[in-house]
Amino acid sequence: MGLLAASVRCSVRVTHVASLTAASESLAQQPVDVILLDWFLPDHYGVASLNALQVIAPRTPVLMLTGWDDDDGAIDALRAGAQDVIVKERLTTPILERTIRYAVERKRTESALRQTEEMYRSLIESLPINVFRKDIQGRFVFANQRFCDVMHKRLDELVGQTDFAFFPPLLAEKYQQDDLKVIHNKRVVEEIEEHAMPDGHRLHVQVMKAPVTDLEGKIVGTQSMFWDVTQRIDAEEALQRSNSRFRKLFDANIIGIMLADLSGAILEANDALLSLIGYTRDDMLTGRLRWDRITPAEYVHLDIHAVETLRTTGVCPAWEKEYYHKDGSRVPVMVGVSMLDDSFNECICFVLDMTQQRRIQGQLRRAKEEADAANEAKSLFLANMSHEIRTPMNAIIGLTELVLDSPLTAQQRDNLTAVADSAESLLSLINHILDFSKIEAGKLELDDVEFSLRTMIAGAMKTLALSAHRKGLELICDIRRDVPDRL
C-alpha cells in the first residue's frame, strides 16, 4: 500500500481485502483494472488462489506477490494465467508502477484482440460460404459452422485432423497438393471444382485458397473458402448452348438475320441478309447501312407501329414490306422482330426473302385471270351456239304444231307429237346448257313452277320409244297410283 501511495507516474485507487472470500464480495460490487494477489492468503494458497480468483474475475489481469524466488512456482503461475510474479523484497515503486501499467495496457490489448477475433468469427459465421483454416502440416485448426454442417462434424472433431480422415485418398491427395501449391507459391489460388453426386447430378464448387502468415510474415498455414456455384455454372452452360445454337443459325445463312437497335442502326448482320440487300460488311460496320434508310417511305408507318409494339410487349407480329437494294431496286421481304433479353433498345430481326413468293403470287394471279377469260369466252360461245340452235328448233316446233292442227291419221298424229315432244326436249336441253353457263358465271336463277310428273315422264318415254323399237325392245313405264302427279 505504501509503494502505491508513493506513486507519481500513475494515479491509482486501491481496495484492500484480506482473503479470497472478501475479494469475491468486493469484486462483485466494484470491478477493478488490476489485482495484486499475495501468494499466501488465509483461505487459499499459491496457484490455487489464482485459479479461484480467475473464476471470479476471468478478464482481470493478476500480479502475484511472493516472498522468495521460486522459478518453478513462478512458471506454474504464469502458465495458469498470471500476468507476472514479483518478489516482494525486490519491489520498488517504479517497478510496481511499470508492472501495473503494463498489465492494464495488456488487458486493453487483449480486450481489443478478443473483440477483433469476435468480429472476425461473427463475420465468418454470417458469410454464406464455407470457411476453414489449416496449419502448415495440413491439419484443421478452425472451421465455421457452415463447413461443420457440410462435413457433419463438430469443430472439435475436425481440429487436428487432415483431409485423409474425411475424404477418399485421391481427393485428399488433391487437396493436400493444392495446399502445398498455395504455400510454395505464396499466392491465392482460385478454381472451380466439379464433383459427381450419387444421384448423377454435377456439383460445381468455387474454391479460393490463400496462405496464412504470422506477424513476421512467415506462412503458418492456409485458409480456404468454397461455395456452391452449380446454378451459375448450369445457367452459363445453358446460355453458352443457346448462343451456340443461335450462332449456328446465324452463320448457316438460311434466313437473313440482324441485330439492330430501334433507332435504325444495324449492329450485326449475317451474310444472307447482306447478300439479299446487296450491301457489304464494311457498309454495316461504318454505319452506311441502316434499316431505316433502306425502307421505302410507304412502309415507314408499319415500322413505327412495330417499334411501338416492341417497346410495349417485346415482340410484334411479322409483317411484309420492302427494302431498297444497294442497286436501287426493291426487295420484298417479311420481317419478324423480338427484343433481346435485358435490353430496352436492341432487337433481333429475321428477314425472309419474299421474291419467289411474290413471283408465284403473280403467276397465280395471271393464271386466274386467264382462266376467268377462258370461262367468259366459253360462256359467250355457249350463248351464241344456243341462239343458233334455238332458231331452227323454234321453226321445227312451230311447223309441227301447224301440221298437228291439220287433218291427220292417228299414226301420223302420234309421230308428229313425238317430233314435237323431242324438239321441246332438245330446246329444254339447250336451256339447261345455258343454265350451266349461268351457274359458272354465278347468274343462275331458279323458277319455282308446278309441273305434271306423268306428263313429263310420258314425253321422255316417247322420245326413247323409237330407239327401243329399232332394237326390238318394248319400253314400258309403270307409275303407281299413289304417286302424286302435280309437283
Residues in CB range of 141: below 8 A, 6 or more apart: 133, 134, 135, 159, 221
Tell me, what's the pLDDT at 63?
82
One domain for residues 16 and 99 = yes
One domain for residues 14 and 109 = yes
Asked whether residue 358 is domain-assigned, the answer is no
Residue 213 φ/ψ, nearest 5 degrees:
-120, 160
Give the model's confidence band at 95: pLDDT under 50 very low, under 70 low, under 90 confident, else very high.
confident
Is 353:322 a contact under the CB 8 Å cutoff? Answer: no
Residues in CB range of 393: below 8 A, 6 or more apart: 423, 426, 427, 430
Is 261:349 a contact under the CB 8 Å cutoff? Answer: no
Asked whether residue 470 is domain-assigned, the answer is no
Tell me, what's the pLDDT at 10?
58
- Cα gap 312→331, rounded to integer Å: 29
34 has a pLDDT exceeding 60: yes
User: Looking at residue 282, which CATH number applies to its domain?
Assistant: 3.30.450.20
Burial class (CB within 10 angstroms; exposed 0-12, middle 13-18, buried 19+) of 269: buried
One domain for residues 317 and 285 = yes
45-77 core/surface letters (b: 16 or more CB in 10 A; e: else): ebbebbebbbeebeebbbbbbbeeeeeebbeeb
One domain for residues 383 and 288 = no
The residue among 207, 234, 261 that closes a domain is 234
One domain for residues 311 and 227 = no
What pTM, to 2 d.p., does this model score? 0.46
Tell me, what's the pLDDT at 306?
92
Number of domains, the chain = 4
- Residue 213 CA, chain-centre distance (Å), reads 44
Tell me, what's the pLDDT at 181?
92
One domain for residues 101 and 137 = no
Angle, CA of 256, 259 and 263, to the nearest 5°: 120
User: Looking at residue 408, which CATH number applies to its domain?
Assistant: 1.10.287.130
- Enclosing domain of residue 290: 253-353
Q: What is the pLDDT of residues 114-171, one digit of tens each?
A: 787 778 777 788 888 899 999 999 999 999 999 999 999 999 999 999 999 999 999 9
One domain for residues 159 and 228 = yes
The residue among 122, 150, 175 that closes a domain is 122
- Cα gap 167→172, rounded to integer Å: 5
Give the model's confidence band at 448: pLDDT under 50 very low, under 70 low, under 90 confident, else very high.
confident
CA dihedral 404, 408, 411, 412 (to 10 degrees): -50
One domain for residues 21 and 117 = yes
291 has a pLDDT exceeding 90: yes
The residue among 430, 446, 462 that closes a domain is 446
One domain for residues 7 and 96 = yes
Burial class (CB within 10 angstroms; exposed 0-12, middle 13-18, buried 19+) of 424: middle
One domain for residues 205 and 304 = no
